[in-house]
Amino acid sequence: MSSADAAWSRMLADLDTRSLRRSLRPLETPQGTEVVRDGRTLLNFSSNDYLGLASHPAIIAALREGAARHGAGSGASRLLCGSLPPHGELEETLAAFKGTRAALAFSSGFAAALGTIPALFGKGDVLILDKLAHACLIDGSRLSGATLRVYPHNDLDRLESHLGWARKNFPNSRVGVITESVFSMDGDLCPLAEIVALKERFDAVLYLDEAHAFGLLGAGGRGLADALGLAPRVDVQMGTLSKAAGLAGGYVCASRAAIDLAINRARSFIYSTAPPPAIAAAAIRALEIIASDEGNQRRQRVLGHAAHFAAISGLGPVPAAIFAVKLGEESHALESARSLEASGFLVPAIRYPTVPKGGARLRITFSAAHSRPEIDRLTLAIAHGLEHLCPAVLPKAAKKKGELGALGQRDHGTMRI
């Protein structure tokens, strides 16, 4: 073993002892609500395929047709010869969908943030981020070279004081506020109306990551900014086609100047081969479905599942399709996830560094493809697990209503912790 390998092995062993080691555990089936892993069938509550579009026949057909018409790969970066008809069409569709002057597609949401933030902000500017902003927003901000400030999660007073500080000390700079609309690991919303008012008061730019709101909130699934009538006042709306659209890719919707600057400066766009044209073609089809009556029905179904879970679990509101059961210790979260898996549920343990140290949790995600009995089964399994671990929390609220009691008459799997 080389000395580097020995050092890397020690680092892995250290992760092991802190219950922080990750490993790949592939599924043996396609993405869906019922999956097979290690030969066992599991009910999947860990996917971001919120609308169940990853297996939609029309989107799969669009992928096939797109590959047949436009080829398998793009061959080069967009700025060389990789810009093919579906890329431009997707960008026009995204801009029309979001009501912005322009849009730019990337090969992932991560690449969108990593390229766009440093394209629009640089040394001498100030970026102010929510403490729970996604890794791609943090990394993009670091890469920009701007001065960074972080405010505690959704803390408007601290955001205001950072904005005041930035305007006083950097009077002629661009000041950006970066946040998510639905937080990926907590499932809560940012106070968007207040953030918009603040950024306008301080002449700042708002960069909003709608990754987990796209497809779910707002008219036709246009996102939280649309739901609150604030879309025209958000400067940059970012999102991903990897979650509710069931595919892969990221996008940024903004003014013509912002998009043209990204085309000229976003390194993850310029120095990366264009996404396969078939994915862009299929994304156009996914957007049509998301905005259609079928999309509305799928939205209602997944948001209905989340509301039902919130009501019968007594665990609190679920404003979109993500719910975090916060357990604190990493080992508790791991043990709980293993126990749920033993009972037939795939619910991931989320640990540091994805969430703060000591903030480990189970992250539950709902899909339109789930059935109501499947939500009931999960709720009961979680309830039994929590009864064991945190008896004060869940069963009291839920059993008071007698609803979990009724569920318990049926034959459901339970989590043993």
Ligand X SMILES: Cc1ncc(COP(=O)(O)O)c(C=O)c1O
Q: Which residues carry out catalysis?
A: 48, 134, 180, 184, 209, 212, 243
Token readout for 339 is: 């126990």
Residue 187 as a binder of ligand X (CB under 6 A): the answer is no
Nearest to ligand X of 184, 336 (CB atom) = 184
Q: What gap in Å lies between CA 91 and CA 166, rounded to an integer?
A: 34
Which sign, positive or negative, has the C-alpha torsion 170, 174, 180, 184? negative
Nearest to ligand X of 93, 240 (CB atom) = 240
Residue nearest to ligand X (CB): 109
Residue 242 as a binder of ligand X (CB under 6 A): the answer is yes
In terms of C-beta density within 10 A (0-12 exposed, 13-18 middle, 19 or more buried), how is residue 31 classed? middle
Pick one of 144, 154, 184, 414: the residue that binds ligand X (CB under 6 A).
184
Buried b (16+ CB within 10 A) or exposed e, 70-83: beeebeeebeeebb
Token readout for 136 is: 């791609």
* Strand ranges (E), 83-180: 102-106, 126-130, 147-151, 175-180
Concatenated DSSP letters of 65-83:
HHHHHH-S---SBIIIII-
Residue 240 as a binder of ligand X (CB under 6 A): the answer is yes
- Spacing of C-alpha 195 from chain mean position: 20
Nearest to ligand X of 74, 242 (CB atom) = 242
Strands 250-254 and 102-106: antiparallel
Strands 102-106 and 34-37: unpaired
Nearest to ligand X of 130, 376 (CB atom) = 130
Shortest reach from residue 107's CB to ligand X, in Å: 8
Token readout for 78 is: 């967009």
Residue among 253, 190, 216 at smallest CA distance from 51: 216
Nearest to ligand X of 211, 312 (CB atom) = 211
Pick one of 218, 221, 223, 250: the residue that binds ligand X (CB under 6 A).
250
Shortest reach from residue 274's CB to ligand X, in Å: 16
Dmax over CA atoms of the chain, in Å, equals: 66
**Restricting to residues 302-331, which ones interact with ligand X according to CB under 6 A?**
none
String marking each residue 89-128 x if it binds ligand X according to CB under 6 A = -------------------xxx------------------
**Restricting to residues 121-150, which ones interact with ligand X according to CB under 6 A?**
134, 136
Nearest to ligand X of 66, 249 (CB atom) = 249
Pick one of 91, 125, 130, 180: the residue that binds ligand X (CB under 6 A).
180
How many chain residues interact with ligand X (CB under 6 A)? 13
Q: What gap in Å lies between CA 406 and CA 393, rounded to an integer?
A: 19
Q: What is the binding site for ligand X (CB under 6 A)?
A: 108-110, 134, 136, 180, 184, 209, 211-212, 240, 242, 250
